[in-house]
Amino acid sequence: MPHDARVAIRQPALTPRMRRVLVSVVLAAVCAVWIYPLLWMVSASLKDNAAIFANEGLIPGRPTFENYVRAWKEANIGSYFFNTVFVTVGSVLLVTIASSMMGYVLGRRRFVGRGLIFALIAFTIFVPQGYTIIPIFDLLTRIGLGQSLWGVMLATCGGSFVIFVLLFAGYFSQIPNELEEAAKMDGVSFVKTFWYVMLPLARPIVVTVVVMQTLYAWNDFLLPLVVTLANPSIRTLSVGVYAFRGENFIDWGGMTAASTISILPVVVLFLFLQRYFIDGLAGAVKG
Amino acid sequence: MSDFTVSSSLRRRLGARIWSSRIDYLFLVPGMLIFGAFILYPIFAAEYFSLLNWSGFDANAKFVGLANYVELLRDPFFWNAFGRSFLFTLSTVPAQMIISLIIAIILNNKLLKLSALFRTMIFLPVVTPVAVIGIVMTIMLSPFNGPINMAILDIGLLSRPLDFLGDPDLVLWTLAAIYVWKWVGVTMVYWLAALQTVPAELYEACKLDGVKGWQVTLYVIMPMIMPFAIVIALISAISALNVFPLIMSMTQGGPYFASEVMEVYIFRYAFATAGAIPRLGYASAAGVFFGLAIMSLTILQVLAVRHLRNREKPHAA
C-alpha cells in the first residue's frame, strides 16, 4: 500500500505514546525546578543548622524534629495559626454570603440605582491596597477595632469583593427565568428561592469565591501587619513568620520549620479542592 | 396640569418603584456594607487625608491644602518608586502570562497522564504565603552558603557568589523572577479555564482537516482564548502593582531604596517609622497620586481596546 508507506515515512520516530512520554519528562523537569525551593524548605526544617550550612543535599542525614518544637514554642505558631483560621473562615463566610446576595440582585433584578452601583464597582476595581490602607486603618481605629482580629477579618472582606460580585452577577444573569418563575408559582418566597434554588445552581462560582478568598485571607500581609503592629498577640501566620525572621535570622532550621507549618493547611485544602476550583473558574469565565 | 403635579406624580411613581423592589435593596445591605466601608469610603477619605498634615491616628490633623502633593512631586525617591512600580509590572506580567500559557497548553492535553500532579506542583508557590517565600528565597539566594550560589560556584559558572538581594542593580530583577515563579500557577489556572471553553468539536474538525499539533494551537485555539488574555492581563497587572508583601518580606525596599516600589514608599511614611514622625497625610497623597495614575492608565487601555474592536467590526461584517 503506497499511501500508508508515505505516511509512515513522513512521521517516523515519534509515536503518540513516545511523544507523551517525552512531554511528561520535560514537564516533570520543569516542575522539579518549580518546587525545588519548597522541597529545600521542608528538607532544611528537618536538619540542624550545621547541616543546613554544610549544604548536605536534599535528604537529611540525621532527620530531627527539634526545629518544629522550637518554632512552635518560640514563634507562637500555634496561636498565629488560630488567628489566621479565624480571619480566613470569618471573611470567607461573610464574603461568600454578601457577594452572592449582591451579585444575585445586580445580575437578575431591575431596580432604581442598579446602574449607579455597577458604575461604582467599575470605578473601584483597580484601586491598589496602598491607596486605601490608611483610611481603612483609621476607620477600624475609630470603631474600636484598630488592634483586633475582628478588624482584620472585616477589612479582609474588602480584598477582592467587587470581582466576586461581578462573577456572581455574570453567572446569575445567564440562568434562564423558568426555574425562578416555577418557584414563584409554587409560592416559594424570594429568600428561599435564592437560597434553595439559585445559590446551588451557582456552585461553580461559590467554589471559586471560597478558594480565592481563602488564598487571599491566608496570604494577606499589609493589613494584618498594620493592625497588629502594636499588638503582637493577634498576629496572623504571615506576619508572625515575618516577625520571627526578624528576630532569629540565623536560625534557618527554626524558620523553615515555622514556614512549613504555616503552608501545610492551605496545601492540603488546595489538594482537595483543586478539581472544583478549576471547573469553577471555567464556569465563571463561560458565564 | 401644572408642572408641580407632573413632577409630584413622577416622584410618586419613583417612590412606588423603589418600594416595590425593597426586597432587592434588603439583599444589597450586607454587600454594600462591606463595599462602602472597606472600598468606597477609603477611596474618598484618602483624598481628604492627603490634604492634611497628620502625624498619627490619635493626633490632631492640620489642613495644608496641596502642600503634600507639591512636596511629593519634588521628591526624587517618590518618582523612583513610582516608576519602579510600573517597571516591575511591565516586566513581570508578560513573562508570567507567556510562561503560564505554555504550561497550560501542555497540561490541557487530554492524553497527558499525571496532569493533575503537575498542575498542583506549579500551583504550590501560589498557596505558599509570601512571608514564607520571603524567608526561603532569602536563605536560598544568600551569598554566604546559600544553595543557589553554591550550585552556581560548583558548576563553575562564576568565580564569585552573586549578591542577588544586596546588589542594587540586581535586586529588582531577582524580585521580579521570584514574583513570576510564585504567581505563574494562578495565571495557569485562568488559562486552563479559558482552554476549557474551546469546544471539543473544534479539535475534531482540525483532525479531519489535517491541521496538526502546534498549528491547531496557533491558528485555532489562540484566537479563541484571546478575549480572556485581556482579562488575565488586567488581573495580573493589579496584582503586580500590589507587590508590597514580597518586597517587604525580602528587602524592605533596599538596598539603598533600589527595590522601593510605591506601596513600600507609602508604608515607610505611614507606618514603618523607627523614631521618625509618621506622616499619614503625605503617605495618603502618594497613594492617591498612584491610584489616579493607575485609573487613568486603565481608562486609556479600555478606550484603546474599544477603539480596536470598533475598527475590526467592518472587516468582520
DSSP for B120-143, written as a single string: HHHHHHHHS-HHHHHHHHHHHT-T
The model's pLDDT over A33-66, given as tens digits with 9 standing for 90+, comes to 889 999 989 998 898 877 777 766 778 777 888 8
Is A151 within 8 Å of A227 (Cβ atoms)?
Answer: yes
- Regarding predicted confidence, which is higher, A91 or B24? A91
Taking each helix axis from N to C terminus, what angle separates A66-74 and A77-108, rounded to the nearest 10 degrees? 70
Q: What is the pLDDT of residue B313?
A: 57
**Run of H or E residues at A240:** helix A237-247
A2: CB partners within 8 A, 6+ apart: none
3-class SS of residue B54: strand
Domain range list for chain B: 19-63, 75-312
Across the interface, do B192 and A98 touch by the CB < 8 Å criterion?
no
Taking residues A68-78, report their average pLDDT: 84
A65: CB partners within 8 A, 6+ apart: A46
| Pick from A93, A100, A205: nearest CA to B31 | A100
Distance from CA of B195 to the nearest CA of A (A): 8
- As a whole number of angstroms, the distance between CA B285 and CA B289 comes to 6
* Cell 496538526 sits on residue: B212
pLDDT beyond 70 at A283: no
Residue A233 DSSP code:
G
How many other C-beta atoms lie within 10 A of the C-beta of residue A228? 23
How many other C-beta atoms lie within 10 A of the C-beta of residue A63? 12
Asked if B109 is an interface residue toward chain A (Cβ–Cβ < 8 A), one would say: yes
- As a whole number of angstroms, the distance between CA B12 and CA B20 comes to 12
Q: What is the pLDDT of residue A1?
A: 45
pLDDT beyond 60 at A5: no
Angle at the Cα of B37 from the Cα atoms of B36 and B38, rounded to 5 degrees: 100
Across the interface, do B130 and A238 touch by the CB < 8 Å criterion?
yes
Across the interface, do A128 and B37 touch by the CB < 8 Å criterion?
no
For residue B63, the cross-strand partners are B52
Residues B10, B11, B15, B16: is their CA dihedral positive or negative? Answer: negative
Position A12 confidence tier, pLDDT thresholds 50, 70, 90: low
Q: What is the pLDDT of residue B270?
A: 86
pLDDT beyond 50 at A282: yes
For residue B54, the cross-strand partners are B61
- As a whole number of angstroms, the distance between CA A64 and CA A68 comes to 9
Chain B residues lying within 8 Å of A277, measured CB to CB: 189
- As a whole number of angstroms, the distance between CA A214 and CA A91 comes to 8
Chain B residues lying within 8 Å of A112, measured CB to CB: 14, 17-18, 21
Across the interface, do A284 and B193 touch by the CB < 8 Å criterion?
yes
Return residues 230-269 of B near A (CB < 8 Å): 231, 234-235, 238, 241-242, 244-245, 248-249, 262-263, 266-267
Looking at residue B184, its amino acid is: V
Torsion region of A23: left, alpha or beta (phi above 0 gives left; psi -120 to 50 gives alpha): alpha
| Pick from A55, A173, A200: nearest CA to A118 | A173
Q: CATH homologous superfamily of domain B75-312?
A: MetI-like (1.10.3720.10)
* Cell 536538619 sits on residue: A47
pLDDT beyond 70 at A285: no
Chain A residues lying within 8 Å of B124, measured CB to CB: 34-35, 38, 267
Across the interface, do B57 and A141 touch by the CB < 8 Å criterion?
yes
Chain A residues lying within 8 Å of B35, measured CB to CB: 102, 120-121, 158, 161-162, 165
CATH topology of domain A74-284: MetI-like fold (1.10.3720)
Cell matching residue B88: 516591575
- As a whole number of angstroms, the distance between CA B242 and CA B235 comes to 11
pLDDT beyond 70 at A10: no
Q: How far from the centroid of its chain's Cα atoms is residue A1's Cα?
A: 58
Of B131, B189, B270, the CB nearest to A238: B131
- As a whole number of angstroms, the distance between CA A213 and CA A227 comes to 19
Cell matching residue B198: 474551546
3-class SS of residue B61: strand
Beta strand segments in chain B, E: 52-54, 61-63
Return residues 187-226 of A near B (CB < 8 Å): 190, 194, 215, 218-219, 221-222, 225-226
Return residues 210-229 of B near A (CB < 8 Å): 228
Nearest-Cα residue of chain B relative to residue A261: B132
Calculate the average pLDDT of chain A: 84
Of B128, B192, B280, the CB nearest to A278: B192
Q: What is the pLDDT of residue B5?
A: 61
Of A95, A139, A215, the CB nearest to B41: A139
Of A141, A190, A226, the CB nearest to B271: A226
pLDDT beyond 70 at A6: no
Chain A residues lying within 8 Å of B189, measured CB to CB: 277-278, 281
The model's pLDDT over A183-227, given as tens digits with 9 standing for 90+, comes to 888 888 888 989 998 999 888 889 889 888 988 898 888 899 888
The model's pLDDT over A141-163, given as tens digits with 9 standing for 90+, comes to 889 888 899 999 999 999 889 98
Q: What is the pLDDT of residue B283?
A: 92
Q: What is the pLDDT of residue A73?
A: 84
pLDDT beyond 80 at A174: yes
Q: What is the pLDDT of residue B198?
A: 82
Beta strand segments in B110-207, E: none
Taking residues A261-282, report their average pLDDT: 77
- For chain B, list residues with pLDDT below 50: 1, 315-317
Give the Å distances, CA to CA, from B135 to A121, A134, A241, B73, B158: 36, 27, 8, 35, 25
Mutation target vs A (from B27, B120, B180; most A CBs, 10 A cutoff) = B27
Which pairs count as long-range contacts for A272-278, CB under 8 Å and 24+ apart, including other chains? A273/A207, A273/A210, A273/A211, A274/B116, A274/B119, A274/B120, A274/B123, A275/B116, A276/A204, A276/A207, A276/A211, A277/A207, A277/A208, A277/A211, A277/B189, A278/B119, A278/B189, A278/B192, A278/B193, A278/B196
Of A101, A136, A222, the CB nearest to B30: A101
Q: How far from the centroid of its chain's Cα atoms is residue B95's Cα?
A: 14
